Structure 1
Amino acid sequence: MSTDTPRPPLDTVQISEKISRYWRVSVVEVTGSTQEDLLNLVQRAEARTGDVLVTNYQSAGRGRLDRTFEAPQASALLFSFYIQPKRDQSEWSLLPLIVGLSTSFALSRLDPQVTSSLKWPNDLFISGLKTGGMIAQTADDGIIIGVGINVAMQESELPVAHATSLSLQNFGELNRNVILAAFLNEFSNLLERWEAGEDLRHLYLERCSSIGAKIRAELPSGVIKSGVAVGISPNGELILEDGSRITVGDIVHLR
């Protein structure tokens, strides 16, 4: 493993002293998947809203559409959290977008010199390269959301050619404890505003590179849709110029 970039260990004390008591953070050194671990806790009625699991290494991490995700030990910020939103479940599909927005806001707060963007529905980009992603699933009376951010990866450790890391982008803060705390604080704020009824889509639109782009969407059914993305519905769907809406699918920017 490259040691060119410092990789401070995860520390619950360091994280907890920077966040509100709404969150309860647990660190596990190695696991299969924080998402699966938290799901098991929910199914056993042992999880509460605000529980967060973060790990140094996971051997069976999951991305969207059942893809696998793996990162060298301590090179990425990998965590999942469980919440029970105070809005109707029919509206929860906007939450993954709010998570992406919170991630982008947190990075901007930590280093205003580095600009991040969001690709609908769940990708974080810096300099046109993928830096992170999110996954969400409902569980019992709540939702579990997983986040992965490439923090200290060197080029040889990147999962795909079009990826990057905060380190490679000369990001000013590479301590995962600080980054996680910043994210939780940003998400707490946006979640409270959303639960109070505020429409946050305008904030997402400002950072979403998919809006105004010609895109190709491959739906789970195999159907291909193309067109210019012009907006986001109240439920987080991507709206194309012909009025059609995409709920889930692989998105490629054509221009």
Structure 2
Amino acid sequence: MLRAALDKSVINSLTTQYWRVSVVDVTTSTQTALATRAIAGKVKPGDVITANFQRAGRGRMSRTFEAPKNSALLFSFYLKPQRKKEDWGWISLIAGASVAQVLKKYNATVKWPNDILIKEKKVSGLISEIHGEGVVVGIGINVGMTIGELPVPTATSLAIEGATNIDRNHLLANVLNEFESIFTSWDLGDESITGLYASLCSTLGTKVQIHYPNDLIEKGIAMCISARGELILDSGTHVQAGDVVHLR
């Protein structure tokens, strides 16, 4: 079941009318494909592209990745938030919290801003990009990958963590429905995501090392999340972007 083929009709039957899911067998990147549509004005809120295989998957900080066919859940979706753009930093955090909620039975947590960890190993990551008046969010979840198929030793998969009865169709539907519920409330002004995210975030209260895009490194204790989704350190620094390493 972990490597069952994606089925458009099954996925759409399990999601609300907000979502319109398209399935492709192979693509360069679901993120690139949907972003291209967004730039051309050929996309609507709720459009989703998911693929069995990506030739050049895209992650945060301009990284690329590749997973064996059918071994991961790879998808991107388009949103058009109503809140002011200064608040849009929360969208990727909402996406991370949604995945962690769905994977709660595996004790999944969020490493700020949106890496999903199980036993401190990465099982899922995502990217969020603004295109015009909307946002394209791309998510990858390691589902059926074996130890030998993992890209790095610090990664894991649901199969490795004991999952046996998950198929990617239901997993995608569950993540989309969870995201819709949280996002819709947030977009209407509800701030309860702040508490939910904090309850799922394993970074808070932890000594961390921040690797910034400009190669600077800073250490500190992660104290809380700002109103704009930034990570606040005990030094008072507001981290907007960077790789976080949990120090023990």
- TM-score range normalised by the length of the shorter chain: over 0.9
In 2, distance between residues paired with 1:251 and 1:26? 33
Deviation at 1:172, TM superposition (A): 4.8
Which of 3, 18, 24 matches 1:22?
A: 18
2:129 corresponding residue in structure 1: 137
Deviation at 1:171, TM superposition (A): 2.1
Q: Equivalent residues in 2 for 1:162-241 (5 A)?
A: 162-199=154-191, 200-241=193-234
Q: Structure 1, residues 7-49: CA drift from partner, whole Å, max 9, x if none?
A: 1100011001111010000001000000000011111111001
Q: Which runs of 5+ in 1 are unaligned?
A: none
2:114 corresponding residue in structure 1: 122
Is contact 1:214-1:228 (8 Å) kept?
A: yes
In 2, distance between residues paired with 1:140 and 1:12? 28
Q: TM-score normalized by structure 2? A: 0.97
Partner amino acid, structure 2, of 1:189: S
2:131 aligned with 1:146, yes or no? Answer: no
Deviation at 1:195, TM superposition (A): 1.1
In 1, distance between residues paired with 2:216 and 2:154? 25
Deviation at 1:6, TM superposition (A): 4.5
| RMSD of aligned Cα (Å) | 1.0
Q: Percent identity?
A: 43
Q: Which runs of 5+ in 2 are unaligned?
A: none
2:27 aligned with 1:31, yes or no? Answer: yes
In 2, distance between residues paired with 1:173 and 1:202? 31
What secondary structure does 1:17 align onto?
Answer: helix
2:58 corresponding residue in structure 1: 62
2:102 corresponding residue in structure 1: 106
In 2, distance between residues paired with 1:20 and 1:172? 26
Is contact 1:167-1:174 (8 Å) kept?
A: no
In 2, distance between residues paired with 1:207 and 1:40? 33
Deviation at 1:173, TM superposition (A): 3.6
In 1, distance between residues paired with 2:45 and 2:164? 31
Q: Equivalent residues in 2 for 1:38-49 (5 A)?
A: 38-49=34-45
Is contact 1:12-1:26 (8 Å) kept?
A: yes
Partner amino acid, structure 1, of 2:207: K
